[in-house]
Chain A
């Protein structure tokens, strides 16, 4: 059995080479994130936005100021925007302004208010359990029904089911409804904000249970679920993402020479940013971070580490393929190449 693989050996498999060439075309993506407003139409337990001091800034609602910001962002090489906190759907004019300048991106929304079709970004609609749980945790009635009504058949939409420590089984209620309505979905893991110690936090048992049920969902809904074995493994591992892969966001990465450490910024709603706080989900406890947005950058950035043998590289390709399908309009997910759990490679 071959023990040392050259990169060219790995790529000699035509299936691997084809997927590599497909995902490689997207290496031009350079991401930054933006809080669009301090307002939200619901208030969820454990919401990252309402932790820390970013919620207290004075939001800038001036489209001209946002346009100028986007022009500057484009000039410094940003090609992909993530529009988040608190609820971007409440400021559609600003979304349109961003879209005009930088047409690749994604919006994180609770899905209760429809975002006009002219905003051609991916839209991630957050689902935190069945309707009973949404009522308890998010204080919103008939949430899934309203979300589906707004975004059924919308090619922009990807529903993001967040597994908390206490809603794991509820995916069995939610997934069939999403699938029946033709909605694509992916998974997120609740990652505790700094200081949070409530029931939503994961522990060793809930991580193991989540892994089991994610696998069941992957086998049951291959047409609708955008996920892979490696996604499951990376996000339900007892070690969180930073410990597994070494987070590349500025908050945890002192290098300013290249990659996210150089280009990534997390703008608050007043258009200021702070390198020491910058990551995709600020005020999350890094030791507990298994967030899907974090993984999309942190695992993807570790190309070098995964190019050690065909099976590990296939797992990484599946992860990147999933990331692109979830985040980038127009990218369609391919079939997963690795159908088993591959250990994350250690740093050598």
Chain B
């Protein structure tokens, strides 16, 4: 049976991946603002984004194009991108 994923589920999971992979402290998936700009406000860079993208690919079985990175600037946009690919 296909598991139904709401956008909120995906947001929480993507946030968890980001927090775990980038070892971000003092924040939980529930308190992380999904609209926050990952580059300008969180301070992550292209290597971090690539790491997150690789883990997301594993978890969701999707392919993320390198050219799409610049568009994935916050958790909500990443979650929507994933949902469109599922």
Contacts and interface: CB of A to CB of B under 8 A. Distances in A.
B57 A6 contact: yes
Given A24-B51, A304-B54, A307-B54, A258 B46 contact: yes
Interface of B: 39, 43, 45-51, 53-55, 57-58, 66, 69-70, 73
Interface of A: 6-8, 24, 27, 30, 77, 248, 255, 257-260, 262-263, 300-301, 303-305, 307, 347
Given A6-B57, A27-B45, A258 B51 contact: no
A304 B50 contact: yes
A6 B58 contact: yes
Contacts of A77: 43
B59 to A, nearest CB: 9
A328 B73 CA distance: 29
A25 B35 CA distance: 27
A347 B66 contact: yes
Contacts of B53: 304
A6 B50 CA distance: 14
Contacts of B48: 27
Contacts of A8: 55, 58
B47 A305 contact: no
Instruction: Please name the 7 residue pairs, one residue from A and one from B, whose CB atoms are nearest each other, closest first.
Output: A259-B46, A7-B54, A257-B70, A304-B50, A27-B47, A303-B50, A6-B58
B23 to A, nearest CB: 10
Contacts of B69: 257-258
B8 to A, nearest CB: 25
